[in-house]
Chains A and B, each alone.
Chain A
Amino acid sequence: MSRLQLENVTLAYGERVVLKGISFEVRPGEILGLVGPNGCGKSTLVKGITRVLPLRSGQVFLDGRDIARMSIAQIAQIVAVVPQSPTLPEAFTAFEIVLMGRTPHLGFLRYESQRDVEIVVRAMEMTHTLSLAGRRIGELSGGERQRLIIARALAQEPKIVLLDEPTAHLDINYQIETLDLIATLCDQQGLTALVALHDLNLAAQYCHRVVMISEGRIHAEGTPREVITAQNVREVYGVQVCVYPHPLNNLPATLITAKGNGKKLVDGDRSGGI
């Protein structure tokens, strides 16, 4: 049974339809990459799955259950979200923010228990944010806040985590570290992940499968090798790139060429074999 399944989902803001007829599934332990140009609806899809934005049509199933029949708390116990640039109140400490990740499991009046606190500590250890624990959010950098939000999502003990551009503000070492962490958790702890990425190389390296969205619909779906091709990139993003096999693992490596650097490319030029 799939962890997450979308069937013919349409999402719109008022009159403006953002996504139409989206169907795909994510299996347990899988990392699904969501790629597409800015504004193509990646964040909107995350909102739809968590019922922040009501579905215009279609259905979303979590472990086979229709989200329309689940309560907000029940959805939050299964799905955690790492939003792109979340507002964080400046006066709370890092520890308190990550502790909020335990909210779905706490019920109405219960206080955080020792176990909740320990889960938060572990989550912060995994994301190397424990040293920030007593500092206020207002003092932290964008990258530190982003790692905190990831820690908060992990503290939620979700079965599925939806990450919306989780590496946007991170240095290259933290980008790799974060996605390595997600990959390890999916591999060893059965976590499932849906990651919206704008970096095609990260998508190729870390995702088991990729969904490429263009103009509100799925343009391509499959393994990274099937989806990340020069042709797809040209059709969806409108730019010409080289897609080479990565020398170490043969996954598609997207190489950009600045205008005027090197020979002019035509479609299919040196991208065969992918």
Chain B
Amino acid sequence: MFPSVTKGEEYSAGFAPARFLRRRSRLYALIVLILLLIPAILLALSIGSTDIPFSTTAKILLSKLPFVSFSPTWSGPVETAIVDIRLPRILLAAIAGAALSVAGATYQGLFRNPLADPYLLGVAQGAGLGAVVGFMLHLGWGGWGLGLVSVLAFLGALSAAFFVYYIGRVGRTLPMTTLILAGVAVGAFLSAITAYLMITSGDSLHGIYSWLMGGFSSPKWVQVEVILPFAAVGIFVICLYGRHLNVMQLDEEQAQQLGINVELTKRVLLLAATLITAVAVCFGGIIGFVGIIMPHALRLVWGPDYRFLLPMAAAAGGIFLILADLLARTVLAPQEIPLGIITAFFGAPFFIYLLRQRKRAVF
């Protein structure tokens, strides 16, 4: 149909379609966001109960690389503080932030609904129930240093999601509206059970509340080793389906008529998004706001193309949660504020500001 179209053809009157794609500006923005992770990590590592100069922090980190050696100009306790205490915590925050943002963007794309967030399919309620049961069982079972609470939270999150998926299916298809309704129903049911257990359990309540509101107050390296592969693989797979998500912003009928295997795409994305949400939640508790608001903020600035939005969400979500965690442990030092409070308190006004800058449709 277009036999005359060849590679190097000129356009009339200097028309340049590349600017409609904004490919280069979005790519630069993505690279910048990824690079910003480094100063964010350095900043968060250096500030805390004792402030450590950036240069020292940088040197300590670099000395951990296999082919670099410095003669240490810092003391042992400083190195312990940076490497064993702060670094795992910051990495957990970064990974959880990335996972929740990407999951939120994915759900918004799959459900074509700007209100979708990673906890839509009962994941949060399942994790909450698992955590409460874990607290109640009160065993200090140190299986791989993970703790009963985290394991049960993870299992609870995944079980809830799979149950929702199971009852939301219609034949061989996965209608999105049925899935949402199933998620609401299952979530409400699990919340009810959780609330009942909390009310009737008396003493162990205190720890549960702060877990539920999110935070990384007892970070361990083993947690990073568990969460990182799941989150990395999940986020990577989701990013591969960026174009599919774009085309699925049309309705499913059009997407199929454009060659997208809609049912397969839905299943892969749902599975990956649920998985990364579950790992984020099982160590960090239920951190709200990041999953729903980060994708919107990015869309406001750089548009809705999921091929860029998804990796940007990972980087920006990581940075955001690193900084939020920094605030959580420094604002009211030595007391720690739950992370969920920080994310909502600082994130919401920023988002309102962004909304007022742009008047056009963003979704």
Contact = CB atoms under 8 A, between A and B. Distances in A.
Interface stretch (A16-24, A109-117, A227-235, A263-271): A109-117
A191 B250 contact: no
Nearest to A86: B254
A96 B305 contact: yes
A93 interface: yes
A268 B41 CA distance: 86
State which size class the interface on B falls in.
Answer: 35 or more
Contacts of A96: 20-21, 246, 305
Contacts of A123: 2
A100 B246 contact: yes
Nearest to A120: B17
What size tier do the contact residues of chain A reach? 35 or more
Interface stretch (A77-85, A212-220, A254-262): A77-85
Contacts of A103: 243, 247, 258-260
Interface in B33-65: none
A29 to B, nearest CB: 13
Contacts, number: 115
B271 interface: no
Contacts of A99: 21
Interface in A114-129: 114-115, 117-123
A157 B5 CA distance: 12
Contacts of A83: 253-254, 257
A130 B17 CA distance: 10
Contacts of A157: 1-2
Contacts of A72: 256, 259-261
Contacts of B203: none
A199 B15 CA distance: 37
Contacts of A156: 258
A98 to B, nearest CB: 10
Given A72-B256, A91-B299, A136-B360, A189 B1 contact: yes
A96 B309 CA distance: 15
Is chain B's interface secondary structure helix, strand, loop, or mixed overall? loop
Interface string B215-231: 00000000000000000
A81 B251 CA distance: 13
Interface string B116-138: 00000000000000000000000
A118 B360 contact: no
B31 interface: no
A47 interface: yes
23 contacts: A50-B256, A51-B256, A52-B257, A72-B259, A81-B257, A86-B251, A90-B363, A92-B246, A92-B304, A95-B20, A96-B305, A100-B246, A100-B247, A101-B258, A109-B240, A120-B17, A122-B5, A123-B2, A134-B19, A134-B20, A136-B360, A138-B361, A185-B1
Interface of B: 1-2, 4-7, 9, 11, 15, 17-21, 112, 240, 243, 246-247, 249-251, 253-254, 256-261, 299, 303-305, 360-363
